[in-house]
């Protein structure tokens, strides 16, 4: 079962359970997926899990920033709502690599691309993206690659 189907099933379950907060979270995710579908309709491309995972990561990033701003602004109740949405979104993401596996993958990509300095960072990032696709959090990978090449 793909992410789209899993989210739809979870939405039905939440609606039957009358879990208004969960329904709201899942409808937000579903709306974002429909936005992807509309954008892809122009090119005639089918949206799969490979496109949905990065979209979910983007949703987490924006909600993390919002939660930080709410906390700084003295609105902890809104920050907690954003954090609840982050948890709901994370439940649909593949498990992240641990630090050792990530470091090994970055080292392998550096060796494969024969990168020598930070100028070669783009090659390394492209190799990692080609190998792992949406399974990697590229923001997290960026820091590791930069450290290794410095």
pTM of the shown model: 0.74
The SS3 call for residue 114 is coil
The predicted-structure confidence for 39-83, as pLDDT tens digits, reads as follows 888 888 888 888 888 899 899 999 999 999 999 999 999 999 999
Q: Which among 13, 26, 33 has a CA at the least distance from the CA of 88?
A: 26
Sorted by sequence, the CB contacts under 8 Å of residue 61 that are 6+ apart come out as 139
First to last CA, the chain: 42
What residues contact 74, with CB distance under 8 A and at least 6 apart?
none
Helices 76-90, 49-72: crossing angle, 10 deg rounding: 160
Identify which of 31-35, 132-136, 138-142 has the greatest average pLDDT.
31-35
């Amino acid at each position: 079962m793909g992410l789209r189907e899993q989210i739809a099933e979870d939405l039905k379950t939440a609606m039957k359970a009358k879990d208004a907060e969960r329904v709201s979270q899942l409808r937000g995710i579903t709306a974002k997926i429909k936005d992807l579908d509309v954008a892809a309709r122009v090119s005639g491309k089918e949206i799969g899990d490979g496109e949905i995972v990065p979209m979910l990561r983007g949703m987490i990033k924006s909600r993390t920033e919002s939660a930080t701003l709410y906390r700084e602004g003295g609105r902890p109740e809104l920050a907690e709502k954003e954090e609840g949405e982050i948890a709901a979104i994370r439940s649909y993401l593949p498990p992240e690599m641990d630090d050792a596996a990530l470091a090994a993958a970055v080292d392998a990509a550096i060796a494969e691309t024969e990168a020598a300095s930070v100028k070669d960072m783009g090659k390394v990032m492209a190799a990692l993206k080609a190998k792992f696709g949406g399974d990697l959090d590229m923001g997290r990978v960026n820091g590791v690659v930069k450290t290794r090449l410095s």
